Structure 1
Amino acid sequence: MEITLLGTGDTTGTPTPGCDCDTCSLARERGIERSRFSVHVRNEETGESLLVDASPDFRQQILTHDVLLPDELIITHVHFDHLDGLGNAYRLFDSLPVHAANEIDPEKDESVADTIRSKFDYLDRISVYDHDPLSSFSACGFDVTLVPVEHPPLLCYGVVISGNGSKLVLSGDTSYGIPDSSRERMMNPDLFLADAIVPASLCEHHPAGGRHHTEDGVPRTFGYKHMTREGALSLANELDAEGTRLVHVSHFYPAEEAFEEPLAIDGEQYRI
C-alpha cells in the first residue's frame, strides 16, 4: 500500500491567501504547502489507485505530486473542502465509482451519497455507490469501512482501509468523541492520519472553548468539530497506531510549532 498525502491542510490551507501571519510567511519562505485535504492510496498488487476525498485543489495536487488519476473515490462528508474537487471528473474520466455512506443526515435530510448525486447530477461519468457505516466493501482491491465520527452538525466518517496485511486509518474531520463502535474498527493501524486542526493551547480563543479534557485538563477537542494536536495524539495512542501523521492542519499553529513532527505537509509518501 503506497500512500501519498496530497492535501494536509484545513479549509483555507497553508499558506492562506492574503495572510501574512508568521506561519504563512514561513511556509512561503520554505516552499511548504498544506492544501485542502486529500489522500491517494495505491494498491501495489493491482496497480489501482483509491482517492479519499476530492479536494478543491485536485488538479494541482495530482500534477504536483505526479500520482495516477484514481480508479475509485471515497467521500467522507459534504463540506466543500472534501467534496467540490469531484467536479474535476468532467473530461478526465471515462467512469469513476464514488463511494459514500447511505445514512440519512437529519441536518440535510439526505445521505452523503444522495448529496453527491444531487450536487453532481451533470456528471454522467460518475457512479455513486451507497454503503452502510461499519460495513466493509471492496474498492481498488482493498477492504474499506466507513466509520462514524463526530463533526457536527453534519454526519461525517473516518475510513479504514485494509489490504495485503496492512491497515491505514483516517480519522476524518472529527472531535475526540468518536463512538466506541468506530474505535474498535480503527484499532491497530500501521498508519493513522488524524485530524489535528490546532494545538490545545488555542482552545481559549474558540467561542466554545475546548472539550474532552484529559485528567490534566488538556482539551482534546477544539470547540466541537475537530481534534486538537493533543487529542489526535491521545487517540493515536489509544488505537495503538504504529505510525501517526497529523493532518487537516490550520495556519493558526504558532510558527515555531507549525512544521514540527508529527505534523504532516503535502507530498509525504509512505509504504505500509
Structure 2
Amino acid sequence: MEVTLLGTGDTTGTPTPRCDCETCERAREEDVERTRFSVHVRNEQTDQSLLIDASPDFRRQFRREDVPLPDAAVITHVHFDHLDGLGNAYRLLDHLPVHAADEHDPNLGESVAEHVDSRYHYLDQVTVNPETPFERFEAAGFEVTLVPGVHPPLSTYGLRIDEPETGASLAISGDTSYAFPQESRDVLRGADLGIVEGIVHADLCEGHPAGGDHYDADGVPRTFGTKHMTLTGARALAEDLDVDNYRIVHTAHFVPASQAFADDVALDGERFEL
C-alpha cells in the first residue's frame, strides 16, 4: 500500500492567497503547500488506486505528485473542499465508482451518497455506491470501512483501509471533533498509519465564539469550537488509536509558524509505504 498525501490543508489552504502571515510567508519561502484535503492510496497488489475525497485542487495535486488517476473514490462528507474536485472525472476518467455513506442526515435532508448522486448526476462517468457505516466494502482491491465522526451540523465519516494480501492498514479520522465515537475509534485502532485532523493550535479556541471543548488533564482543549480537533486533540486521538505512525492534516494557516511545521504536521506530497 502506497499512501500519498495529495492535500493536507483546510478550506483556504496554506499559503492562503493574499495572506502575509508568518506561516504563509514561510510556506512560500520553503516552497511547500497544504492544498485542500485529499489522499491517494495505491494498491500495489492490484495496481489500482483509491482516492479519499475529491479536492478542488484535484488537477494541481495529480500533476504535481504524478500518481495514477483513481479507479475508485470515497467521499467522507459534502463540504466543498472534500467534494468539488469530483467534477474532474469529466473527460479524465472512463468510469469512477464513488463510495459514500448511506445514512440519512436530517440536516442535509439526504445521505452523503444521495447528495453526491444528485449533485453529479450529469457525469456519466460517476457511479455512486451507497455504503453502510461499520460494514466493509471493496474498492480498488482494498477492504474499506466507513465510521461516523462528529462534525456538526452535517454527518461526516472517517474510514479504515485494509490491504487483504499484505495486511497493511490506513486509518483516516476525517473532519471531526475530539468527540469521535468510541465505536469508530475501535475500528481505526492499531493501523499502520493514522491520518488525523487538527485544524489549529489550542490557544486559538479563546477567540472562537464556541470556545473549546474536551479538555485534557492540563486544561488544554482538544476540540476547536464544535467540529474540528486542535493539534492537541489530533495528537491525543492518534495516541488513543495506537497507530504505528501518524500525520496531522486539514491544518489551517492560523497555526503559528513555530508550530505549523512540526514533524507530525503533514505537508502535501508526503508518501508512505505500508
TM norm structure 1: 0.99
In structure 2, the partner of 1:130 is: 130
| 2-structure distance, mates of 1:57, 1:39 | 12
| 2-structure distance, mates of 1:207, 1:144 | 36
Counterpart secondary structure, 2:195: strand
Cα displacement (A) at 1:167: 1.0
- Alignment match of 2:192 (pick from 151, 166, 190): 190
Counterpart secondary structure, 2:68: coil
In structure 1, the partner of 2:224 is: 222
Is 2:108 aligned against 1:93?
no
Cα displacement (A) at 1:258: 1.1
- Alignment match of 2:210 (pick from 208, 211, 218): 208
Counterpart secondary structure, 1:256: helix
In structure 2, the partner of 1:29 is: 29
Unaligned runs of 5+ in 2: none
| 2-structure distance, mates of 1:210, 1:261 | 24
Amino acid at match of 2:15: P
| 2-structure distance, mates of 1:270, 1:223 | 31
Amino acid at match of 2:153: P
CA RMSD of the aligned region, Å? 0.6
In structure 2, the partner of 1:117 is: 117
Counterpart secondary structure, 2:179: coil
- Alignment match of 1:245 (pick from 237, 241, 247): 247
In structure 1, the partner of 2:175 is: 173
Counterpart secondary structure, 1:41: strand
| 2-structure distance, mates of 1:52, 1:146 | 11
In structure 2, the partner of 1:44 is: 44
Counterpart secondary structure, 1:91: helix
Unaligned runs of 5+ in 1: none
| 1-structure distance, mates of 2:198, 2:181 | 18
Matches within 5 A, 1:9-28: 9-28=9-28
Amino acid at match of 2:189: M
Is 2:270 aligned against 1:268?
yes
In structure 2, the partner of 1:75 is: 75
| 2-structure distance, mates of 1:201, 1:11 | 20
Aligned residues: 272
In structure 1, the partner of 2:150 is: 150
In structure 1, the partner of 2:257 is: 255
Cα displacement (A) at 1:241: 1.1
Counterpart secondary structure, 1:83: helix
Amino acid at match of 2:147: V
In structure 2, the partner of 1:4 is: 4
Question: Any idea what the Cα deviations from partners look like across 1:106-146, whole Å, max 9, x if unmatched?
Answer: 00110000001111111011100000011110111111000
Counterpart secondary structure, 1:76: coil
In structure 2, the partner of 1:234 is: 236
Counterpart secondary structure, 1:90: helix
Amino acid at match of 2:61: Q
| 2-structure distance, mates of 1:38, 1:90 | 18
